[in-house]
Chain A
Amino acid sequence: MANHSLALRHQFEDVAQQKDASTLGMWIFLATEILFFGGMFCCYTVYRSSYPHAFGIASNHLEVLWGAVSTVVLICSSYFMACSVNSAATGYRKALVGFLVLTILLAVAFLVIEMSEWYLLYKEGLMPGVNFTYKGIDPGHVQLFFCMYFAMTGLHASHVTIGIVILIILAFRAYADVFTPAYYTPVEISGLYWHFVDLVWIFLFPLYYLIARHLQG
Chain B
Amino acid sequence: MITATVEARDNYLTHEYGVKSWLLTKDHKRIALLYLASITFFFFLGGIFATIIRLELLTPPGDLVSSQTYNKLFSLHGIIMVFLFLIPSIPATLGNFLVPMMLGCKDLAFPKLNLLSWYIFVVGGLFVLYAMLIGGVDTGWTFYVPLSTSYANTYVILTAVGVFITGFSSILTGLNFIVTVHRMRAPGLTWFRLPLFIWSTYATSVIQVLGTPVIAVTLLLVALERGFHLGIFDPALGGDPVLFQHLFWFYSHPAVYIMVLPAMGVVSELVSTYSRKKVFGYKFVAFASVAIAILGFLVWGHHMFVAGQSVYASMVFSMLSYLVAVPSAIKVFNWTATLYKGSISYDTPMLYAFGFIGLFTMGGLTGTFLASLGFDVHVTDTYFVVAHFHYIMVGGTMMAYLGGLHYWWPKISGRMYPEGWAKLSALVVFLGFNLTFFPQFIMGYLGMPRRYHAYPEEFQVYHVLSTAGASVLAVGYLIPAMYFIWSLRYGPIAPDNPWRATGLEWQTSSPPPPDNFEITPVVTHEAYDYSVVEEMTVG
Residues 58-81 of chain A, each 1 if its beta carbon lies under 8 Å from chain B, else 0: 000000000000000000000000
Contacts of B450 in A (CB 8 A): none
**How far apart are B64's CB and chain A's nearest CB, in angstroms?**
40
A35-63 at interface with B (beta carbon < 8 Å): 35-40, 42-43, 46-47, 50-51, 54
**How far apart are B181's CB and chain A's nearest CB, in angstroms?**
10
Q: If A28-B179, A140-B237 touch, does A46 touch B211 (CB 8 Å cutoff)?
A: no
Contacts of B515 in A (CB 8 A): 10
CB-nearest residue of chain A relative to B213? Answer: A36
**How far apart are B238's CB and chain A's nearest CB, in angstroms?**
4
Residues 1-34 of chain A, each 1 if its beta carbon lies under 8 Å from chain B, else 0: 0000000011111000100110011001101110
Is there an interface contact between A29 and B175, defined as CB atoms closer than 8 Å? yes
**How far apart are A129's CB and chain B's nearest CB, in angstroms?**
3
Q: How many A-B residue pairs have CB under 8 A?
A: 117
Question: Does B106 have its Cβ within 8 Å of any Cβ on chain A?
Answer: yes
**A25 to B236 CA separation, bound complex (whole angstroms):** 43
Question: Does A95 have its Cβ within 8 Å of any Cβ on chain B?
Answer: no
Question: Does A148 have its Cβ within 8 Å of any Cβ on chain B?
Answer: yes
**A35 to B250 CA separation, bound complex (whole angstroms):** 11
Is there an interface contact between A43 and B175, defined as CB atoms closer than 8 Å? no
**A36 to B170 CA separation, bound complex (whole angstroms):** 14
**How far apart are B481's CB and chain A's nearest CB, in angstroms?**
32
B198-223 at interface with A (beta carbon < 8 Å): 209-214, 216-218, 220-221
CB-nearest residue of chain A relative to B183? Answer: A21
- Greatest chain B CB density within 10 A among A10, A17, A25, A51 is at A25
Is there an interface contact between B105 and A51, defined as CB atoms closer than 8 Å? no
A113-141 at interface with B (beta carbon < 8 Å): 128-130, 140-141
**How far apart are A89's CB and chain B's nearest CB, in angstroms?**
21
Stretch among B107-115, B327-335, B431-439 lining the A interface = B107-115
**A92 to B279 CA separation, bound complex (whole angstroms):** 55
Is there an interface contact between A39 and B247, defined as CB atoms closer than 8 Å? yes
**A51 to B243 CA separation, bound complex (whole angstroms):** 15
Contacts of A141 in B (CB 8 A): 238
Contacts of A147 in B (CB 8 A): 225, 230-232, 239
Is there an interface contact between A25 and B247, defined as CB atoms closer than 8 Å? no
**How far apart are A18's CB and chain B's nearest CB, in angstroms?**
9
Contacts of B176 in A (CB 8 A): 25
Which of these, A25, A31, A54, A129, contacts B229 with CB under 8 Å? A129
**How far apart are A38's CB and chain B's nearest CB, in angstroms?**
7
Question: Does A182 have its Cβ within 8 Å of any Cβ on chain B?
Answer: no
**A42 to B233 CA separation, bound complex (whole angstroms):** 13
Is there an interface contact between A31 and B237, defined as CB atoms closer than 8 Å? no
Prevailing SS type, chain A contact patch = helix
Is there an interface contact between A24 and B183, defined as CB atoms closer than 8 Å? yes
Contacts of A24 in B (CB 8 A): 178-179, 182-183
**How far apart are B202's CB and chain A's nearest CB, in angstroms?**
12
Is there an interface contact between A151 and B224, defined as CB atoms closer than 8 Å? yes
Contacts of A210 in B (CB 8 A): none
Question: Does A87 have its Cβ within 8 Å of any Cβ on chain B?
Answer: no
Is there an interface contact between B238 and A31, defined as CB atoms closer than 8 Å? no
**A31 to B237 CA separation, bound complex (whole angstroms):** 32
Question: Does A103 have its Cβ within 8 Å of any Cβ on chain B?
Answer: no
Is there an interface contact between A21 and B179, defined as CB atoms closer than 8 Å? yes
Question: Does A143 have its Cβ within 8 Å of any Cβ on chain B?
Answer: yes
Is there an interface contact between A31 and B210, defined as CB atoms closer than 8 Å? yes
**How far apart are B30's CB and chain A's nearest CB, in angstroms?**
14
Is there an interface contact between B178 and A151, defined as CB atoms closer than 8 Å? no
Is there an interface contact between B175 and A32, defined as CB atoms closer than 8 Å? yes
> What band does the interface of chain B fall in when counting residues whose beta carbon is under 8 Å from A?
35 or more
Question: Does B240 have its Cβ within 8 Å of any Cβ on chain A?
Answer: yes
Question: Does A204 have its Cβ within 8 Å of any Cβ on chain B?
Answer: no
Is there an interface contact between B183 and A20, defined as CB atoms closer than 8 Å? yes
Is there an interface contact between A36 and B175, defined as CB atoms closer than 8 Å? no
Is there an interface contact between B108 and A144, defined as CB atoms closer than 8 Å? no
Q: If A28-B209, A31-B210, A151-B224 touch, does A21 touch B237 (CB 8 Å cutoff)?
A: no
**How far apart are B380's CB and chain A's nearest CB, in angstroms?**
24
**A8 to B230 CA separation, bound complex (whole angstroms):** 49
Is there an interface contact between A128 and B175, defined as CB atoms closer than 8 Å? no
Question: Does B533 have its Cβ within 8 Å of any Cβ on chain A?
Answer: no
**A46 to B309 CA separation, bound complex (whole angstroms):** 14
**A15 to B110 CA separation, bound complex (whole angstroms):** 14
Which of these, A10, A35, A50, A155, contacts B210 with CB under 8 Å? A35
Contacts of A21 in B (CB 8 A): 109-110, 179-180, 182-184
Question: Does B17 have its Cβ within 8 Å of any Cβ on chain A?
Answer: no
**How far apart are B538's CB and chain A's nearest CB, in angstroms?**
32
Contacts of A25 in B (CB 8 A): 109-110, 175-176, 179
B221-259 at interface with A (beta carbon < 8 Å): 221, 224-225, 227-232, 236-240, 243, 246-247, 250
**How far apart are A33's CB and chain B's nearest CB, in angstroms?**
7
Q: If A35-B213, A46-B240, A143-B238 touch, does A10 touch B106 (CB 8 Å cutoff)?
A: yes
Instruction: Give me 22 A-to-B residue pairs in the complex whose CB atoms sit less than 8 angstroms apart, sorted by A's number.
Output: A9-B111, A17-B184, A25-B109, A25-B179, A31-B209, A32-B210, A33-B213, A35-B210, A36-B214, A38-B213, A39-B221, A39-B247, A40-B217, A47-B239, A51-B238, A128-B230, A140-B231, A140-B238, A147-B225, A148-B232, A151-B221, A151-B230
B contact set with A: CB distance below 8 Å:
100, 105-111, 171, 175-176, 178-180, 182-184, 209-214, 216-218, 220-221, 224-225, 227-232, 236-240, 243, 246-247, 250, 515, 520
6 closest A-B pairs by CB = A129-B228, A36-B213, A39-B217, A11-B107, A140-B238, A35-B213
Given contacts A20-B183, A32-B175, A39-B214, 19 further A-B contacts (CB under 8 A): A11-B106, A11-B107, A11-B109, A17-B183, A21-B109, A28-B175, A29-B175, A31-B209, A38-B213, A39-B213, A39-B217, A39-B247, A42-B246, A43-B221, A46-B240, A140-B236, A143-B238, A144-B231, A144-B237
